[in-house]
Every structure is written in structure tokens, then in C-alpha cells.
Amino acid sequence: MKQYDTVVIGTSAGGLGALTAILSVLPENFKLPILVVQHQPADADDFLHRHLNDLCQLNVKEASPGELIVAGRVYIAPRGYHLLVEESHRFSLSVDLPVNYAIPSIDVLFESAADVYKAKLIGVILTGANNDGALGLKEVKAQGGLTIVQAPDTAEVSCMPQAAIGMTKIDHILSLNEIASFLTKLNDVKDTDND
């Protein structure tokens, strides 16, 4: 089975429940860094990453500019900024205009991560109420990465998964309850290959 280096996840409406369902069951030996865009208003507080950190075995934190992306951490895009991945595997932030009415934008993160990680990237689109992420996931696929979409009938809001499915040929359409175990299997491949 192919090895991967990083996971990117995009979600919007209903995302708190979906992220909780996935991230809270990932094992503490999960080695792939996970970069998350959850649409939030710029004036939101820091509840999201603190809440997830309390529930997860992995360390969940807000991404900082210049920060090196390391294994086994979950990084949440800060409110009011686009999150990008640099060639150095560090984060940068942008205050460019919203993309798909959103800042942070899923497309912006996915496209920058696909440019860096190429075929070693896993892109995941979850529940949400707009089309953000569809173009980004198409770019993940174009670069040879693995594409996963939450099955629309298991999404709190199905617009975002449906848009992603309509934009490109998705590798795996999984129910919300299947995504964490699938990612864990991919992580186990990385662990085995590194032993």
C-alpha cells in the first residue's frame, strides 16, 4: 500500500461534529500531520481547537506562521486567515480576499499542500454548505494524491461533499464513521514501513 505524508481536511457547516467523530478516535500513534480548515467567522473564539484537543489523543493546536509541520499533530487554520503550506513544510498565513466566501478557504490550503506533497497527500472533504474544497480536492487528485469525501447521506449538510464528488473522480466515498479507521490503516502502513 502506498505511503502518505500528510492529511488535509476541509469542512464547514456541521464540521464540529464531523471533526469530533474522526479526530477523537485516531490513536495516539497516528503519525501523519493533519491540517484542518473549518469555516469560522473571524470573530470566533478559540473554542474549536481547545475542544478538540480535550477530546483527542493527538495534540490539536492552531497553526502559526512559520511553524514547522510535524508528525502526529492536528493543526487548525486560524480564524480570519488563509492557511498555506510552504516548500519548507512550514505554514504561512494570508489575509487575501475570501475564496468561495470563506477565509480561511479549504481550496487555498488544499492547493498549496498539493503543490508541496504531490502524491503523498490525502485530501478529505466533510460536511458543509458551499462548494469550497471541490477545486482544491481536484488539485490533490491531479497531483496524484488520495481523495476522500464523506458520503453525502451521512453529512449534516451535503452541499460540500456533493460539490467535490461532482468536480472529480473521488477515490473513496466513505460514511463519517468509516473515515477514521480508513486513515488509521494508512497510518499503519507508514508505521510499518518506518520500522
Residues with a known catalytic role: 12, 39, 132
Which positions ≥6 away from 51 have C-beta within 8 Å? 16, 20
